Chain A
């Protein structure tokens, strides 16, 4: 038995750790100018489906070319060595796997499922619909860590601090006693957790079940791997067909014909090479292959190919249909600097980097509230947390630039929406209470307090041109549900970074905007008669 794990395990662990660290650093930004989204740009499926659906080259996604190049030269090394989803399944799979008994399940035909999915996603992309997020491995993994595991850790810490508070008081440990680490909660976390629970349970049937049968990104890299120059070779003169490689193979491909290699399925883990008692298995250049290296026909048969194409077209078409509606729904309140809605839905990878980056936890994934097509995309939920005027965290993590990387001077003008007061529930409008919590909290001086004819108390009114849509009012409204809510009405959605110029042209008055330091007083909205706001006669 090997005590020291092989190099591949170290690389996988390092890759996963780096992936998670970048997510942890999301609010502040990682080292070397890397952001939480940097790793996500490597996603092989999004890298082709998103530009196809958006019908443009997305420069920010260039690193995915490295992954394609690696597949063309080295086969699916990304799957075996780099992919954090693969590493997670390898790592958590032991929960479900029967130890020491890696069933070399044949399940040959279901392997076609991943091609079917790939075809469906690419065809949908050609039709202009981005479905990649349903099955892209890196966004799926990012959602697990950002929306489920990291918050679980935070909440665990919070609970522990609460539990030990009396002890800390006795010990006089002030630093721990007053420590208030963030503890965010995300909508859809249970969906993500369930999905991953199933993926891990499937490890019981076969190791890397997801990668073998479902992952369309793996299918894409597998197709590229047909060109690979470096691949598994077996020296037929030495091979005894003992089957040890078959038992060790995590993708179960050495089972039928140990001497042959299916390059589209092989993830280049090189486990078979280590296990071979004869030294018959070698990874090396294709041309140097000895006689028996001829690959088995690794592409699907013609019938399977056309079947895949047909079902893919149907699936893609259905998906396109699902996004069509007769009425134009109001868009959700998107992060500041989001591109126009249609383009946003096409570009957004649903990776959750922006959700993780938002320091207030205000950015939340959509579930069924919006269009089917908008699932997992980010929106501002002010009750969870408002948008800080001086923060640009979400702008700088988006891997596909669905949220533009705005500097603060531009972001300050990127109006997200407009607050609307429900006069039937507002304490001032409806119950004649002198509640001005929305006005108190507004960083933009956007809520005027006016004593209107027929009202006994001054009432809040939103000045749309000054309202950024940050949600401080909604967050702190004492009514439940909030009597003031942010809508996407009037949101500034541009495809380029000219937010300041455009906002000024539109006459928006946002320059108090999160910049109290500028300290230019807003004109006081005082009644000309009677006492100043809040005073009695």
Chain B
């Protein structure tokens, strides 16, 4: 990870410094930092991941993968409260194609049971490719106590055993607003991997503990589903749903989140990534970069 980040920084710096105006990914061997693909959610997801070097760049054969979508709400696709099932299905297929030993689609949903998985359409999408991989884990037996490294506030919690065992973690949140953190994207979405979220609101500072958690469970790949954006009344809605029809992918969750923040109008207004406290803190603590304007962004339309 570090080496890749370093290389990316190098290419980005080179790209901007030497070849200002020419995207650095056009230089042989270099990749874009962020890809924004517009089109059918499934196809756009595949195209975006391919542009980042394909799933093989993230998943090696025989590895265990956990995909973390939003599937907390018993709400249909149009509500934009959950990730689009086609995005999840495509990621699942890409991981399997890359030779993953096991792929699990997991979330600790707000609601217990299979109901939110069914309503979101994600369960059916997963069952169509890899039956039995999609679960809403709400019982403590699926969690194990762990210590968060590099934490400033939340040093212990219980996380999904599957996630602690996983080699690769892929975040695929839907782009939506959030009443307490501004937005809920790939950093905030990691709250769905632990057992006790309440303490992040009460005992700890929410933004600090979100970044603590993001350090512990930094996704190798973040794919933000902005096919629909719940721009108001998130995370539950119902709210105003924008339909940019885009998929944002990056190896840097902070960069992906930052781009999503700046790309869409939240409550009808344009917002800077630094206005999202946990994104600003994530950059300050070195988790990733939110200065999207300095990163190479590949935009494609299918």
What mask results when residues 251 to 275 of chain B are scored 1 for a CB within 8 Å of chain A, else 0? 0000000000000001101010011
Q: Is A106 an interface residue (CB 8 A)?
A: no
Q: Is B135 an interface residue (CB 8 A)?
A: yes
Shortest distance from the beta carbon of B240 to any chain A beta carbon, whole Å: 5
Asked if A512 meets B238 with Cβ closer than 8 Å, knowing A519-B79, A531-B275, A535-B275, the reply is: yes
Shortest distance from the beta carbon of B121 to any chain A beta carbon, whole Å: 12
Cα–Cα, bound, A516→B78 (Å): 9
Interface pair A435/B135, CB less than 8 Å apart: no
Residue from the list A174, A175, A517, A534 in contact with B181, Cβ < 8 A: A534
| Number of A-B residue pairs having CB atoms within 8 Å of each other in the complex | 142
Cα–Cα, bound, A175→B274 (Å): 44
**Of A161, A443, A524, A533, which is in contact with the most chain B CB atoms at under 10 Å from its CB?**
A533
Interface pair B236/A442, CB less than 8 Å apart: yes
Cα–Cα, bound, A518→B78 (Å): 10
What mask results when residues 178 to 214 of chain A are scored 1 for a CB within 8 Å of chain B, else 0? 1010000000000000000000000000000000000
Interface pair A440/B179, CB less than 8 Å apart: yes
Interface pair A158/B239, CB less than 8 Å apart: no
Near B by CB (< 8 A), chain A positions 421-471 give: 427, 433-437, 439-443, 445, 449, 458
Cα–Cα, bound, A532→B179 (Å): 9
Interface pair A535/B271, CB less than 8 Å apart: yes
Q: A169's closest neighbor in chain B, by CB?
A: B161
Q: A361's closest neighbor in chain B, by CB?
A: B112
Shortest distance from the beta carbon of A179 to any chain B beta carbon, whole Å: 10
Shortest distance from the beta carbon of A252 to any chain B beta carbon, whole Å: 50
Interface pair B206/A535, CB less than 8 Å apart: no
Cα–Cα, bound, A324→B233 (Å): 47
Asked if A178 meets B135 with Cβ closer than 8 Å, knowing A434-B180, A521-B238, A522-B238, the reply is: yes
**Interface size classification for chain A:** 35 or more
Tell which of B5-13, B85-93, B137-145, B293-301 binds the partner. Answer: B137-145
Interface pair B79/A161, CB less than 8 Å apart: no
Tell which of B29-37, B166-174, B194-202, B217-225 binds the partner. Answer: B194-202
Chain B residues, CB < 8 A from A437: 180, 198, 201
User: Could you list some 6 contacts between A and B, CB below 8 A?
Assistant: A388-B74, A434-B181, A437-B198, A478-B200, A522-B233, A532-B182
Q: What 9 A-B pairs come out closest when comparing CB atoms?
A: A478-B198, A532-B267, A436-B180, A534-B182, A436-B179, A435-B201, A524-B232, A535-B182, A478-B202
A residues lining the B interface (CB < 8 Å): 158, 161-162, 165, 174-175, 178, 180, 359-360, 388, 390, 427, 433-437, 439-443, 445, 449, 458, 476-479, 512, 516-522, 524, 526, 531-537
B residues lining the A interface (CB < 8 Å): 73-76, 78-79, 81, 110, 112-113, 132, 135, 137-139, 141-142, 177-183, 197-202, 205-206, 232-233, 235-241, 266-267, 269, 271, 274-277, 280
Given contacts A180-B112, A524-B232, A532-B266, 8 further A-B contacts (CB under 8 A): A180-B113, A427-B201, A435-B201, A436-B180, A440-B180, A521-B232, A524-B240, A532-B271
